[in-house]
């Protein structure tokens, strides 16, 4: 197998580097672009959901289309509309969630978590597409907000989430809206493609 890889670099890590092998024209600082590096993780997530009985491989289309496919298509369409018809100062804002972060993903809502995990990457991709027309897109990630579907949380769950925040409380819908207004007020072009986490330092 090694003979079929004329240029390759192999590492084995424990607490420290245990093994290293450089083959061909590989130097210690050589960098190579890696494509599709997250596909294995997405596949592992889906199979974990299947193991938990929350998704069937026989009929996953409806759930995936509703939670992931449809929102993704709509976001791309909005980006196309902004590029073609948006005013010079118009911009796009996508909302993510810390539920997509390691240690915080919501095992009871796996497809919601997967959809939110796509937000930062989609923001970066659309930033490239929108740059030609001079438009911007930014992502904002919030932790648990005391509004919307989170109003159905039990009192104990709300206390547990508040305890993860250094402020000891959950932000309201008005708090979140004020932060979005602050992001939109930034006229700089460098913010395009960025995803900003506004969680108040909440722990996982």
% residues pLDDT > 90 (the chain)? 48
Model confidence pLDDT, tens digit, residues 68-87: 888 888 999 999 999 999 99
Q: Which residue has the higher pLDDT, 108 or 140?
A: 140
Domain residue spans of the chain: 1-32, 38-198
Q: How far apart are the first and last CA of the chain?
A: 41
Gap between the Cα atoms of 96 and 37, Å rounded: 21
Neighbours of 119 (CB within 10 A): 21
Say if residues 91 and 134 touch (Cβ distance below 8 Å). Answer: no
Whether 29 has a pLDDT exceeding 90, the answer reads no
More confident residue, 60 or 122: 122
Q: Strand pairing of 17-23 and 8-13? A: antiparallel
Tokens read off for 127:
């930033």
User: Any idea which architecture 38-198 has in CATH?
Assistant: 3-Layer(aba) Sandwich (3.40)
Q: Give the side-chain half-sphere CA count within 13 A for 154.
A: 3
Mean pLDDT of the region 176-200: 94
* pLDDT over 70 (residue 41): no
- Single out the residue of 129, 143, 138, 154 nearest to residue 194, CA to CA: 138
Mean pLDDT of the chain: 81
Of 17-26, 36-45, 82-91, 192-201, highest mean pLDDT: 192-201
The pLDDT of residue 9: 47
User: Is residue 126 a contact partner of residue 81, using CB atoms and an 8 Å limit?
Assistant: no
Per-residue model confidence (pLDDT) at position 17: 47
């Amino acid at each position: 197998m090694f003979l079929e890889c004329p240029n390759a670099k192999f590492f084995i890590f424990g607490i420290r580097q245990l093994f290293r092998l450089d083959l061909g024209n590989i130097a210690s600082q050589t960098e190579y672009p890696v494509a599709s590096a997250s596909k294995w993780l997405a596949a592992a997530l889906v199979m974990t959901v299947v193991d938990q009985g929350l998704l069937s491989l026989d009929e996953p289309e409806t759930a995936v289309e509703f939670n992931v496919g449809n929102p993704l298509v709509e976001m791309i369409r909005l980006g196309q509309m902004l590029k073609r018809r948006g005013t010079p100062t118009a911009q796009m804002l996508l909302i993510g969630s810390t539920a997509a972060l390691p240690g915080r993903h919501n095992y009871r809502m796996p497809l919601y978590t997967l959809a939110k995990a796509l937000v930062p990457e989609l923001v970066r991709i659309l930033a490239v597409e929108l740059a030609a027309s001079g438009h911007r897109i930014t992502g904002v990630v919030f932790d648990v907000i005391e509004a919307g579907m989170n109003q159905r949380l039990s009192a104990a769950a709300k206390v547990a989430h508040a305890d993860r925040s250094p402020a000891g409380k959950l932000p309201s819908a008005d708090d979140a809206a004020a932060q979005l207004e602050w992001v939109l007020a930034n006229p700089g072009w460098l913010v395009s493609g960025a995803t900003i986490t506004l969680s108040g330092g909440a722990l996982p």
